Amino acid sequence: MQDVFEKLWLNVDRIDQDKVKSWLFTCTHNAMLNFIKRRARVDYMHSIHLHGASHMDSHEFESNEIIEQTVGMLPPLQKSILLMRDLEGYSYEEIGVMLELNPSQVKVYLFRARLKVKNQLKTVHHFA
């Protein structure tokens, strides 16, 4: 959080005061995603170091990696909505307020994101 508020302080002249809340959310959301990615890499490297690669369920790791890559290929708005709804548990209304969309737009973007992920996973599974 401290890093996000530092960014706000450094960019205060460039941010529209009416959009500070959504700017803070977006910045915090991106910082959280970066933190999770870094932590996952460190945890993975740590588990290999402690237990060796042979003890890790490679199928599980590959599945998680494929899902992460598939979600990563989504357009930024769809990716944000998918993560906010499915991982963070925000309601359609809360997501709409944060991203300045109405709830029906949120539902449409979420549907499209889930459909893209589903189709991509079917393609990957078909070739596996």
pLDDT in tens, 39-59: 665 555 555 455 554 444 555
pLDDT of residue 42: 58
What is the rounded distance in angstroms from the CA atom of residue 117 to the CA atom of residue 69?
Answer: 10
Q: Do 23 and 8 contact (CB within 8 A), yes or no?
A: yes
Domains of the chain: 1-56 (no CATH), 58-128 (1.10.10.10)
pLDDT of residue 107: 96
DSSP letters for the chain: -HHHHHHHHHTTTTS-GGGHHHHHHHHHHHHHHHHHHHHHHHHHHHHHHHH-GGGS-HHHHHHHHHHHHHHHTS-HHHHHHHIIIIIS---HHHHHHHHT--HHHHHHHHHHHHHHHHHHHHHHHHH-
pLDDT of residue 50: 53
Q: Is the pLDDT of residue 35 over 70?
A: yes
Confidence band, pLDDT 50/70/90 cuts, at residue 123: confident
Highest mean pLDDT: which range of 15-19, 40-44, 123-127: 15-19
Number of neighbours of residue 24 by Cβ within 10 angstroms: 17
pLDDT of residue 111: 95
Q: Do 7 and 27 contact (CB within 8 A), yes or no?
A: yes
Q: Is the pLDDT of residue 30 over 60?
A: yes
Q: Do 85 and 95 contact (CB within 8 A), yes or no?
A: yes
